[in-house]
Amino acid sequence: MHEVWIIAEVLEGKVKDVSFELLSRGRALSDTLHVRLGTVVLGHHIEPAELQKLIRYGSDVVYAVEDKRLVSFTCERYAKVLGHLLTEYTPQIVIAGATTMGRTLMPYVAVKAHAGLTADCTELDIEEGTENLLQTRPAIGGNIMATIKTPHHRPQMATVRPRSARPLAPDQKRKGTVVQVAFDPAWDDKRVEVLGLRKPDDEQTSIEEADVVVSGGRGLKKRDNFVIVEELAKQLGAQVGASRDAVDRGWARYPHQVGLSGKTISPRLYLALGISGAVQHLAGIKTAGCIVAINSDEGANLLNIADFAIVGDLFVIVPEIMRRLGQRSKS
Ligand SMILES: Cc1cc2nc3c(=O)[nH]c(=O)nc-3n(C[C@H](O)[C@H](O)[C@H](O)COP(=O)(O)OP(=O)(O)OC[C@H]3O[C@@H](n4cnc5c(N)ncnc54)[C@H](O)[C@@H]3O)c2cc1C
């Protein structure tokens, strides 16, 4: 039976969070199809405990290829390895994160494998009857959700937005197999050499990685008032987010935009100030832990989905919250 695969990502020997989100997606698909879930992991000196972690989070089998030439992601080399694994093991579905690595590697491999690829999916499912992979993603600038399938080619390939799914709870008793695949020197590609790695600029990653995000919307009324959002964020050690409306007005820069055409985030705590909760905004906070919304309109959509809905004027409520936080930090 052809397996479902996810492509894990590793940094400095440790499996990155996106891999566990993919495992939760992959587990749902493989359970529906009654097939095994495989994880491909490429790198160098990956800690054995990390490979076991992939099993505890849902994988049945882990295909690990380790070599010093795989220490950093290079598209050509990784594509050769993955291409070999696809031919050898013929999975029916392969999903990767819509990350820098996934967005670069998957199209390259899909072309070589004569397979289709749907980028940046927000939902994946299995079609009843045909067992085709249903790959759903925003289309036409986010105005519609398009569901795409690839009935005539295998594997079916997709990248999935990071933080659009929660990892499963780890199962300490889960058993699986680790298959170590030896690196074949023929997979080397000497045209590319990694000279060093630079950490991404904070702005690009901050709201996606943040534990707490404070966002502001049109309810702030003008740029000068947006300082309230920045100050509250500073007091909470949070990152600043914004609705598209606030970004379009120039109150915050695009890397701070939360939502369908901005970032998908998964903070433990999300505070939304003066944001109505349009579907496109909500698409970016589906996996947020606790949502606190402050809005003067009790009918605002965001108040309906918030864990703590505060109805009132943000210009009164936020200074009061900041005053109390200040008092607490003094005591
Ligand atoms: C293709 C497409 C993609 C999009 N992508 C995104 C996206 O990625 N992210 C995104 O956010 N939007 C996106 N949008 C836009 C989205 O549809 C909304 O227009 C936008 O989210 C509205 O922003 P807002 O909530 O700040 O403004 P509004 O909808 O105008 O809401 C302002 C809110 O502030 C409240 N308010 C006013 N004064 C106060 C006050 N004194 N105190 C408290 N509350 C107050 C109001 O009651 C209101 O609810 C997209 C739209 C399209 C068509």
Q: Pick the atom of ligand 1 nearest to 246's CA.
A: 26
Q: Is the CB of 276 under 6 A from ligand 1?
A: yes
Q: Which atom of ligand 1 is nearest to the CA of 143?
A: 1
State whether the beta carbon of 260 lies less than 6 angstroms from ligand 1: yes
Instruction: At 176, give phi and psi (nearest 5°).
Output: -160, 180
Helix (H, G, I), strand (E, B) or coil at 15: strand
CB 315 near ligand 1, within 6 Å: yes
pLDDT in tens, 89-127: 999 999 999 988 999 999 999 999 999 999 999 899 999
Domain assignments of the chain as residue spans, ordered by start = 4-187, 202-330
The residue contributing the CA closest to ligand 1 atom 53 is 143
- The confidence band for 256, taking pLDDT boundaries of 50, 70 and 90, is very high
pLDDT band, residue 41 (cuts 50/70/90): very high
For helices 100-112 and 75-89, angle between their N-to-C axes, nearest 10 degrees: 50
Whether 294 is in the pocket of ligand 1, judged by its Cβ within 6 Å, is: yes
In this prediction, residue 200 has a pLDDT band, given cuts at 50, 70 and 90, of: low
Closest atom of ligand 1 to 276 CA is 49
SS (H, E, C) 164-202: CCCCCCCCCCCCCEEEEECCCHHHCCCCCCCCCCCCCCH
Q: To the nearest whole percent, how much of the chain has pLDDT over 90?
A: 81
pTM: 0.74
Which residue puts its alpha carbon closest to atom 43 of ligand 1?
295
* Ligand 1 mutation target, pool 137, 281, 301, most atoms within 8 A of CB: 281
Q: Please give the class, per CATH, of domain 4-187.
A: alpha beta
Query: Does 215 sit in the ligand 1 pocket, CB within 6 Å?
Result: no
Nearest to 30 by CA among 181, 168, 178: 168
Q: Classify domain 202-330 at the CATH class level.
A: alpha beta
pLDDT at 203: 47
Residue of minimum CA distance from atom 51 in ligand 1: 280
Tens-digit pLDDT profile for residues 204-213: 457 988 999 9
CA proximity to 239, closest of 204, 211, 276:
211
Q: Which of 116, 123, 115 is nearest to 146 (CA)?
A: 123
